[in-house]
Amino acid sequence: MQRWIGKLLILCVIFCIVPTADAARVKDIADIYGIRDNNLLGYGLVTGLQRTGDTMRNQATIQTVSKRLQGLGVTLTPDQIRSRNVAVVMVTARLPSSARPGQRIDVTVSSAGDAISLQGGVLQLTQLLAPNGEAFAVAQGPLSIGGYSMQAGGALSQKNHSTVGTVPLGATVERENPNRLNLLEQTQLDFLLRQPDFTTAKRMADAINQGIGDEIAIAVDESAIAVKIPQDYRKDVVSFLALVEDIDVTVDSPAKVVFNERTGTVVMGADVKISNVAVAHGGISIEVRSNQAVSQPNAFSGGTTANIDNSTLQAQEEDGTLTLVGGDVSINDLIEALNQLDVKPRDLGQILQAIKASGALQAELEVI
């Protein structure tokens, strides 16, 4: 019964994940070159914790608190600071390409010290810097954790991850993104495929030309499609992009098998083919049993009572069956043939690696 259930799970997992050649919108498979977010990073303090902040061993916290108080006109040496209600944190955010001063964005806050939990904390005013060191936003506000962590008497109760939180719309943009693309100055836009592929690039160019009704798109390489903006849309590029993004494209993907050794998950693409190959699958089952016994000496012998460990080992080899698979078959036929071996997902991954080594698997095999 267990083997039958395992077999059914393999079929369900693989058949449900196998991709089909359905159409996808341009906006779901490609991005416009020059329109992208930029990463911001800051280093700040979270206060208001209920003695779940950084310990006194964390010198970075003590020094940061001391400098922050000095900036507010309070002079304290690091030796005078004794607080578990503060934690140093790293603050990250993504600055949209169209960001303008006054716009608010979300921030993520993560502990940089040895705090137990950031629950109930408030992020103090923190500058968010770009890689060039310039500040583009400032963040502040109460944290949303979505979990908790409580410790008492050596016992710990925790839900979710309590040392990472967010401040929704907690940062205010102070400077305009210098990489913002001015659409009104563009005569051509380049679309970049998220999964580069020559076939998909050609299909996308053809679909745009057919959808707009003019030869305005051409595939430059496997990842870029150059699209000229028609003269009628030069003053309303947004409307033109809205039309292009909604065009359907039949996406093509290479034959690929992904095998996760840690979880035993196997995912196969619909175009995976296997040449004729014979597969034998067998296994060895080893069982070790340990029985404890007591040795009791005879009376007046002068001996002592001792424990004796009686261990037995049994090894059993399952019969391996030789099964013929492959021969330019579909994914359905392939899975049916492999399941005749009554293998689990982890064993299936090992079999596929052996088939790939033999040169019979006509697909890329990725082990993660």
pLDDT in tens, 52-96: 888 888 888 878 887 887 778 877 776 667 778 899 999 999 999
In this structure, what token pair is assigned to residue 1?
A: 């019964």
pLDDT for 7 equals: 43
Residues 349 and 367: their CA atoms lie apart, in Å, by: 9
d(CA 142, CA 124): 9
**Contact present, 355 and 268 (Cβ < 8 Å):** no
Q: Which residue has the tokens 């690696």?
A: 353
**Is pLDDT at 13 greater than 80 in this prediction?**
no
The pLDDT, as a whole number, for residue 70 is 76
Residue 144 CA to residue 154 CA, distance in Å, equals 26
Bin 153: left if φ > 0, else alpha if -120 < ψ < 50, else beta. Answer: left
Residues in the chain: 368
Instruction: Tell me the sheet residues that pair with 155.
Output: 152
Asked which of 7-21, 179-193, 212-226, 248-262 is least confident by mean pLDDT, the reply is: 7-21
Mean predicted confidence (pLDDT) in 219-241? 94
Residue labelled with tokens 């907690």: 170
Tell me: pLDDT of 249 over 80. Answer: yes
Query: Largest Cα–Cα distance of the chain, in whole Å?
Result: 113
Across all residues in the chain, what is the average pLDDT? 79
More confident: 18 or 153:
153
Grade residue 305 by pLDDT with cuts at 50, 70 and 90: low
Tell me if residue 180 falls in helix, strand or coil. Answer: coil
Global pTM value: 0.66
- Residue 313: its pLDDT value, please? 46
